């Protein structure tokens, strides 16, 4: 079993800096009215970015192995939260936007399915708390 570590240090108020085993720092912050400096991404937003990075890495790697000629790739994530505290995510939707000419639909659907149902550990963790859905869109090359 692999153990992962994270270190978080208060900068001032609710402004924090943190790093993990990769040794890269990231700044987290809140709005000024809550004691922050509004100088960093919100901690809960990091979960959505982590989801996008995790599933995006899977999809790109799988499509590269299949020699799918992607010209560009984007992921749009929307999330609903419950009104009362704790304001957890209740629904998360991942939209994959793939750019290229004559992209093979079967390969793209397979790559997304493998990421969503087998490889992306962030998706699997978030599914325990929220409904996670996905869609994709193919666009001509940029």
Q: What does DSSP say about strands 6-12 and 72-81: parallel, antiparallel, or unpaired? A: unpaired
Using a pLDDT cut of 90, give the percent of the chain over it. Answer: 96
Q: Which residues contact 120 (CB under 8 A, 6 or more apart)?
A: 51, 54, 55, 58
Tell me the DSSP string of 12-26.
ETTEEEEEETT--EE
Report cis status (omega within 30 of 0) of the bond before 86.
yes
Over residues 17-67, the pLDDT tens digits come to 999 999 999 999 999 999 999 999 999 999 999 999 999 999 999 999 999
What span, in angstroms and rounded, lies between the C-alpha atoms of 138 and 25?
35
Right CATH number for 43-139 from 3.30.300.20, 3.40.30.10, 3.40.50.2300, 2.70.170.10?
3.30.300.20
Average model confidence (pLDDT) across the chain: 96
pTM of the full predicted structure? 0.92
What's the pLDDT score for residue 142? 63
Comparison of pLDDT for 141 and 31, the residue scoring more: 31
3-state secondary structure of 115: helix
Query: How large is the average pLDDT for residues 6-12?
Result: 95
């Amino acid at each position: 079993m692999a153990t992962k570590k994270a270190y978080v240090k208060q900068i001032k108020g609710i402004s924090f800096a943190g790093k993990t085993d990769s040794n890269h720092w990231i700044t987290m912050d809140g709005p000024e009215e809550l004691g922050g400096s509004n100088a960093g991404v919100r901690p809960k937003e990091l979960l959505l970015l982590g989801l996008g990075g995790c599933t995006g890495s899977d999809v790109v790697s799988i499509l590269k192995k299949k020699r799918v000629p992607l010209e560009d790739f984007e992921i749009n994530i929307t999330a609903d939260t419950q009104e009362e505290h704790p304001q957890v995510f209740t629904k998360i939707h991942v939209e994959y936007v793939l750019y290229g000419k004559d992209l093979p639909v079967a390969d793209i659907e397979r790559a997304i399915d493998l990421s969503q149902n087998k490889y992306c550990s962030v998706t699997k963790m978030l599914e325990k708390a929220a409904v996670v859905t996905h869609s994709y869109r193919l666009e001509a090359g940029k």
